[in-house]
Structure 1
Amino acid sequence: MFYAILAYHVEDELLSWTPEQDAAVVAKVIEVQAPLRASGHLGPAARLDDTKKARTLRGPGAGMVLDGPFAETKEQLLGFHLVEYDTDEEAIAAARKLREVNPTAVYEIRPVKLYVPSDGFGATKG
């Protein structure tokens, strides 16, 4: 089963970090990712750009493009990790490892129903 580990954070807090603080958190996240990738469990991971650059497409027909994500939450979706595990518990354990090095983030773990493999990740399972 594929799981998306969605990373939420208070964006203003993250944007207030100095480049050194940001680099330190990223380095710790990469350390957590390394064994997940080596074991074949980690697929693509990305940090999303500022939400002020986001656009939302909604409405009937071709839809209307609106500025922003229009989230009604304190935290915004700022990144994700795509992982492959047999059980929910294993995916949750991976999210816990990520949270250990980025404790102010909120991680949502969601099964992925439709998946198109990339770079060989998931090519033999699913």
Structure 2
Amino acid sequence: MKYLGLAYFTPEKFDAMAPDDIKELVSQCPPLDEKMRATGKVLISASLGNLENWRTLRSRGGKTRVTDGPYTESKEVVGGLFIIEADSSDEALRIASMHPAATLGEEGGWAVELIPMDFYLAQ
């Protein structure tokens, strides 16, 4: 089974942190990411681009409209994603718990959401 992990953060909390605290926090991420990938179960792992560059496409009145910004209004924003292939939900949870957003950054409002998914490859 494949699982989509969405790593969230709260921009207001993250922005309230001192620059040195952010630098220290972010410096802890690569070893945790590597530990998660070392399981051999992570198919994809990525950080998402700056929110200012996000675009949303919605159908309105039969036409596709493009707007700036994240797709929904929320206090938390998706900052990264990963896909795990695991034999059970317990295994997926164990692996997802290694992600930096699940282990660090309480001050920045970090969290991980883990979602079972059907997976199809485009032909």
Which interval holds the TM-score relative to the shorter structure? Answer: 0.7 to 0.9
Three-state SS of the structure 2 residue aligned to 1:90 is helix
Please say which of residues 20-29 and 32-41 is displaced more in the overlay. Answer: 20-29
In structure 1, runs of 5+ residues without a counterpart are 117-126
* Partner Cα separation in structure 2 for residue 43 and residue 12 of structure 1: 31
State which drifts further: 1-10 or 97-106.
Answer: 97-106
Task: Report the counterpart of residue 105 of structure 1 in structure 2.
Answer: 110
Change (3 A) 1:112 1:22: farther
The one-character-per-residue Cα deviations of 1:32-90 (angstroms, maximum 9, x if unpaired) are: 22233222112322221232321111106561111112423211111112222111122
Corresponding residue for 1:33? 33
Would you say the 8 A contact 1:55–1:65 is kept in 2?
yes
Q: CA deviation at 1:7?
A: 0.8
Whole-angstrom CA distance in 2 between matches of 1:80 and 1:38: 17
TM-score normalised per structure 2: 0.75
What's the counterpart of residue 21 of structure 1?
21
RMSD: 2.5
Shift of 1:10: 0.7
Worse overlay, 41-50 or 18-27: 18-27
* TM superposition score normalised by structure 1: 0.74
The DSSP-based 3-state class of the residue aligned with 1:35 is: helix
Q: 1:82 corresponds to which residue? A: 83
Relative to structure 1, the CA distance from residue 70 to residue 8 in structure 2 (aligned partners, 3 Å threshold; closer, same or farther) is same
The answer to whether the 8 A contact 1:33-1:42 is kept is no
The 3 A distance-change label for structure 1 pair 13 and 79 is same
> Is the 2:39–2:95 contact (alpha carbons within 8 Å) kept by the matching residues of 1?
no
Q: How many correspondences in the alignment?
A: 117
Please list every run of 5 or more consecutive structure 2 residues that lacks an aligned counterpart in the other structure: none
Equivalent residue of 2:97, what SS?
Answer: helix
